[in-house]
Amino acid sequence: RPKVTLNTIKSLYKKNIPIASLTAHDFPSGIVADRAGVDLVLVGDSLAMVALGYDNTNQITMDEMLSHCRAVARGSKAPFLVADLPFGTYEVSPEQALESSIRLIREAKMEGVKLEGGIEMAATIKKITTAGIPVIGHIGLTPQRSASLGGFRVQARTATGARKLLRSAQALQEAGCFAILLEAVPAPVAKFVTQALTIPTIGIGAGNQCSGQVLVQLDMLGSFDRFTPKFVKKYADAFETNSAAIAEYVRDVKERSFPGEEHAYSMRNEDDIKKLE
């Protein structure tokens, strides 16, 4: 597969070909996304919940994020690689945000970063993009800010809310973002924002008129059984498939039907068996 660059993303957008994005959180999930033809791989901080078992995304540290990004980068070669800036690593100042972004690029082979927030993050985004690091702005439902949003709720459900969302999107575009992620907003609102921008929108729970889509890999594979948001389509039931496979293995071990002869090694000289008796 040819390497997906920022130019590839721009060209898909210009040709109105949806940008297929997916999260990955480790080496195998990075490989599988690459092999399946994903354009943009996001090492999202959702990995805190789906892969590390935290209650929310705000507990993951930069060191944990760096470690997962490195694993994804080892497996995912063609897709454009973007990492979430973890909570607490970019809000203090534009300088802090740039330093954190540089770490993800230099220490973990990421090619761009994503951060949550609207107009108030414009100066921060400008700082990062001016340093030559591609940025995705994330607006609508921003999980790192769920406490101040009053929970995980659909955003911009009114005309006023929609116009405010558009102003945020335009400010982020102006600040130099190469794409805007829209999470949990009504489909007509996402369409309205997408049409008003000159950069692609990537939707999750934002209808099918965005310039691209993203899902959390472990959600869409059915590997995360705690809860499933309305916007997730389960393309597989990995939790069930894997549990059944592991239960069968346990049975086989208890019954000594695994390993079979085909999984066992023989001695170089069969006569040597007698010498062991």
The binder of 216, among ligand KIV, Na ion, none, by C-beta within 5 to 8 A per type, is ligand KIV
**Distance between CA atoms of residues 10 and 14, nearest Å:** 6
Q: Distance between CA atoms of 149 and 58, rounded to whole angstroms?
A: 14
Q: Which of 204, 206, 218, 221 binds ligand KIV (CB under 6 A)?
A: 204
The closest of 75, 65, 17 to 41, measured between CA atoms, is 75
Beta strands 179-183 and 201-204: pairing type? parallel
Least separation, in Å, of the C-beta of 52 and ligand KIV?
Answer: 12
Of the two residues 72 and 181, which places its CB atom closer to ligand KIV in the complex? 181
Q: Does 221 bind ligand KIV (CB under 6 A)?
A: no
Q: Compute the distance between CA of residue 121 and CA of residue 90 in angstroms, rounded to an integer.
A: 10
Applying CB under 6 A, among 214, 218, 220, 221 the residue interacting with ligand KIV is 214
Shortest spacing between CB 113 and ligand KIV, in angstroms: 12
The C-alpha atoms of residue 85 and residue 91 are separated, in whole angstroms, by: 10
Q: How far is the CB of 45 from ligand KIV (least distance, A)?
A: 5
42 binds, among Na ion, ligand KIV, none (CB under 5 to 8 A by kind): ligand KIV
Site track 71-90 with ligand KIV (rule: CB under 6 A), x = hit: -------------x------
> Would you give the binding string for ligand KIV spanning residues 24-63, x where CB under 6 A is met?
------------------x-xxx-----------------
Selected binder of Na ion within 45, 111, 183, 219 (CB under 5 A): 45
Name the residue with the smallest CB distance to ligand KIV.
Answer: 44
Task: Write out the binding residues for Na ion, residues 84-113 only, by CB under 5 A.
Answer: 84
Instruction: Identify the residue among 34, 38, 43, 44 touching Na ion (CB under 5 A).
Output: 44
Task: Kindly indicate which of the ranges 27-35, 64-72, 77-85, 245-253 contains the residues binding Na ion, using the contact rule CB under 5 A.
Answer: 77-85
Interaction site with Na ion (CB under 5 A): 44-45, 84
